Structure 1
Amino acid sequence: MTNLPPQFWIGVPAVAIALAALAVAPCWAWPWIGAAALYTLFLSHYQNWRGPLTQAEIDRFLQATQHETNIEDFRAFLEADDGREFFMQNLVKFADSKVAHPETGAPTAPHKLVESYSKPFIKGLILRGGHPVLLLQRNGSDLDSWGPTSETGVNWGISNVMRYRSRRDLVELASNTDFDDIHRFKREAIVETISYPTKMLMAGFAGPRALVALILSLGAALTNIAILALY
Structure 2
Amino acid sequence: MMGSFWVWGVAFAGYAIFLGWYLNWRGPLAKAEIESFMARMRANNVGHGDQDEMPVLQRFLEEDDGREFFMLNVIRMSDGDVADPVTGNMRPAREIMAGYTRMFMPALFARGGHPALAARRIGGMVDTWGLKEVPEWSMVGYMRYRSRRDIAHLVCDPRFGGAHAFKFAAMPQTFNFPTRPMIMTLAGPKVWVGLSLALAAALAQVALLLSTTQI
Fold similarity call, TM over 0.5: yes
- Aligned to 1:229, what secondary structure does the other structure show? helix
Which whole-Å CA distance do the structure 2 matches of 1:127 and 1:46 have between them? 9
Q: Structure 1 residue 104: deviation in Å?
A: 1.3
Equivalent in 36, 40, 56 of residue 16 of structure 2: 40
Equivalent in 111, 115, 133 of residue 132 of structure 1: 115
Equivalent in 17, 22, 28 of residue 52 of structure 1: 28
Q: Determine whether 1:98 maps to 2:72.
A: no
Equivalent in 78, 91, 98 of residue 108 of structure 1: 91
**Could you list the per-position Cα deviations for residues 55-81 of structure 1 after superposition, in whole angstroms to 9, with x for gaps in the alignment?**
111111111112224221211111110
Which whole-Å CA distance do the structure 2 matches of 1:177 and 1:70 have between them? 18
In the alignment, what sits opposite 1:229?
A: 210
In the alignment, what sits opposite 2:38?
A: 62
Aligned length: 205
Q: Structure 1 residue 112: deviation in Å?
A: 0.9
Which whole-Å CA distance do the structure 1 matches of 2:100 and 2:14 have between them? 32
- Aligned to 1:205, what secondary structure does the other structure show? coil
Identity %: 39
Which whole-Å CA distance do the structure 1 matches of 2:168 and 2:14 have between them? 40
One-letter amino acid of the counterpart of residue 61, structure 2: L
Any unmatched runs of 5+ in structure 1? 1-24
In the alignment, what sits opposite 1:29?
A: 5
Q: Structure 1 residue 26: deviation in Å?
A: 3.4
- Aligned to 1:159, what secondary structure does the other structure show? strand
Alignment of structure 1 residues 64-79 onto 2, 5 Å? 64-65=40-41, 66-68=45-47, 69-79=52-62
Which whole-Å CA distance do the structure 1 matches of 2:56 and 2:155 have between them? 15
One-letter amino acid of the counterpart of residue 45, structure 1: W
Which whole-Å CA distance do the structure 2 matches of 1:96 and 1:229 have between them? 59
Which whole-Å CA distance do the structure 1 matches of 2:85 and 2:4 have between them? 59
Q: Determine whether 1:143 maps to 2:126.
A: yes
Equivalent in 177, 184, 197 of residue 165 of structure 2: 184
In the alignment, what sits opposite 1:161?
A: 142
Which whole-Å CA distance do the structure 2 matches of 1:28 and 1:99 have between them? 59
One-letter amino acid of the counterpart of residue 46, structure 2: H
One-letter amino acid of the counterpart of residue 49, structure 1: W
TM-score normalized with structure 1 length: 0.85
TM-score normalized with structure 2 length: 0.91
Q: Determine whether 1:88 maps to 2:49.
A: no
Which whole-Å CA distance do the structure 1 matches of 2:134 and 2:17 have between them? 47
Equivalent in 106, 109, 122 of residue 105 of structure 2: 122
Q: Which stretch has the larger CA shift, 29-38 or 68-77?
A: 68-77
- Aligned to 2:140, what secondary structure does the other structure show? strand
- Aligned to 2:70, what secondary structure does the other structure show? strand
Which whole-Å CA distance do the structure 1 matches of 2:12 and 2:114 have between them? 23
**Could you list the per-position Cα deviations for residues 153-205 of structure 1 after superposition, in whole angstroms to 9, with x for gaps in the alignment?**
21111110100000011001111111112111111111011010000222222
Report the RMSD for the aligned CA atoms in angstroms.
Answer: 1.3
One-letter amino acid of the counterpart of residue 118, structure 1: T
Q: Determine whether 1:205 maps to 2:186.
A: yes
Runs of 4+ in 1 over 6 A off after TM superposition: none
In the alignment, what sits opposite 2:156?
A: 175
Which whole-Å CA distance do the structure 1 matches of 2:82 and 2:194 have between them? 45
Any unmatched runs of 5+ in structure 2? none
Which whole-Å CA distance do the structure 1 matches of 2:78 and 2:204 have between them? 52
Alignment of structure 1 residues 7-26 onto 2, 5 Å? 26=2
